[in-house]
Amino acid sequence: MSQRYNDIEELPGVSAKLAEKLRELGYSTVESIATATVSELVAAGVDEEHASRIISAAREGIEIAWVTAKELAEIKTNIGRITTGSTRLDLLIGGGVETQAITEFFGEFGSGKSQICHQLAVNVQLPVRRGGLDGSALYIDTENTFRPERVTSMANSLGLNADEVLERIIYAEAYTSDHQILLVEKADKIIKEKNVKLIIVDSLTSHFRSEYLGRQLLPERQQKLNKHMHKLIRLCRAFNIAAVVTNQVMSRPDDIFSTMAVYPIGGHIVGHTSHNRVFLRKVAGKPLRIARLVSSPYLPEGEAVFKITERGVEDVEATE
């Protein structure tokens, strides 16, 4: 998508003051205004006619870029992959976590979602020949579970300089769902500056779950999550980076006959926009984990066993 306006200040009718206010509310790009509704901007204190003019200008300023299938094929050949640390898990998801897409790891508490995030934040820094993308990671933590010392031990296991690895993980704690949304919306600058190749949101859904309680708020929650996921996917495509999100699942006692008696908290909307969804489960009393590829646009469903040890995410030996 190419744009006539680079900054929201350039839009006719948007003063520096209004731009600042819009940014505070999460409308930091021309694109976000083009996809906003009049009522959203009215709620932000802009009068109706003014809001509709700004939105129209933003929409006119965005040119939809049609590409030929050949060009599309070229874009796809640029897809990069990050190893998870386990060759079997990599194979299950088509050769590692891919750029230009969102990979969602979902599962119960302790199933290894955050461990995989830590490992990927390290592995993305590896050179391409070792399964990395020679880039840095952006880590959005919503549950305050990021542990630098865990990164240190993973980095040491790979023979990397732990200080350098920590230096290339750019961390932010998101305090609310709105804050989390804003962090993603404002990520483009830092992605460029720091050569970010992976953006992690651990967890995608925890704030949404605690803030939007009850059936009544469900549509609003889904709509916000959906928009948030779309922002993420746009970043992935614009910068050829990977996004990894986690999602805790709850058990569903009424569904005991289902092979998967759990369902992702984000429900189906998250499922449709994220491209690869991997369900993780524990094996009682063992460091083993089973990953199941649940939905992917082009890969077959399947399972892979891996383990989480002191060294991080690893393959299971034949004897284990």
203 preceded by a cis bond (ω within 30 of 0): yes
Pick the closer one to Mg ion by CB: 114 or 205. Answer: 114
**How long is the chain?**
320
Q: CA 317 to CA 315: how far, in whole Å? A: 6
24 and 8 in contact (C-beta within 8 Å)?
no
- Identified binder of Mg ion from the candidate list 99, 114, 119, 136, rule CB under 5 A: 114
The residue number with the shortest CB distance to Mg ion is: 114
Q: What are phi and psi of 37, to 5 degrees?
A: -105, 160
Report d(CA 202, CA 206) in Å as an integer: 9
Q: How far apart are CA 311 and CA 212, in angstroms?
A: 38
Helix (H) or strand (E) holding 129: none
Nearest C-alpha neighbor of 62 from the set 294, 303, 282, 234: 234
83 touches Mg ion by CB under 5 A = no
- Tokens encoding 12: 């006719």
Binder of residue 309, out of Mg ion, ligand GTP, none (CB less than 5 to 8 A by kind): ligand GTP
Q: Which is nearer to ligand GTP, 33 or 245 (CB)?
A: 245
Q: Is 109 annotated as a binding residue?
A: yes
CB of 106 to Mg ion, least distance (A): 11
**Residue 142 site contact among Mg ion, ligand GTP, none (CB < 5 to 8 Å, cut-off depends on kind):** none
Distance CA 314, CA 308 (A): 6
Nearer to ligand GTP, 234 or 292 (CB): 292
- To the question of whether residue 110 is assigned a binding role by annotation, the answer is yes
Cα 155 to Cα 150: distance, rounded to the nearest angstrom? 9
Q: Which of residues 142-161 bind Mg ion (CB under 5 A)?
A: 145
| C-beta of 27 vs 105, nearer to ligand GTP | 105
User: Which of ligand GTP, Mg ion, none sits in contact with 24, Cβ below 5 to 8 A by type?
Assistant: none
Please report how close the Cβ of residue 16 comes to Mg ion at its closest, in angstroms.
41
**CA 244 – CA 200 distance, rounded (Å):** 5
User: What is d(CA 241, CA 152) in angstroms, rounded to the nearest whole number?
Assistant: 24
107 interface partner picked from ligand GTP, Mg ion, none, CB below 5 to 8 A per type = ligand GTP
**Euclidean distance between CA atoms 311 and 153, whole angstroms:** 7
Residues that bind ligand GTP (CB under 6 A): 107, 109-115, 145, 150, 248, 308-310
Q: Please tell me whether 107 is known to bind a ligand.
A: yes
Q: Which neighbouring-strand residues pair with 315?
A: 306
- Closest distance of CB 195 from ligand GTP, Å: 26
The annotation status of 111 as a binding-site residue, yes or no, is yes
Give the CA-trace dihedral at 297, 299, 300, 306, to 10 degrees: -120
Which is nearer to ligand GTP, 29 or 119 (by Cβ)?
119
CB of residue 150 vs Mg ion: minimum separation in angstroms?
12
Are the beta carbons of 116 and 122 closer than 8 angstroms?
A: no
Residue 146 known to bind ligand = no
Distance in Å, CB of 206 to Mg ion, minimum: 9
Q: Does 10 count as an annotated binding residue? A: no
Our CB check for ligand GTP shows the closer of 172 and 249 to be 249
Cβ closer to ligand GTP: 113 or 207? 113
Annotated binding-site ranges: 107-114
Give the footprint of Mg ion on this chain (CB under 5 A).
Answer: 113-114, 145
Q: Which positions make up the binding site for ATP?
A: 107-114
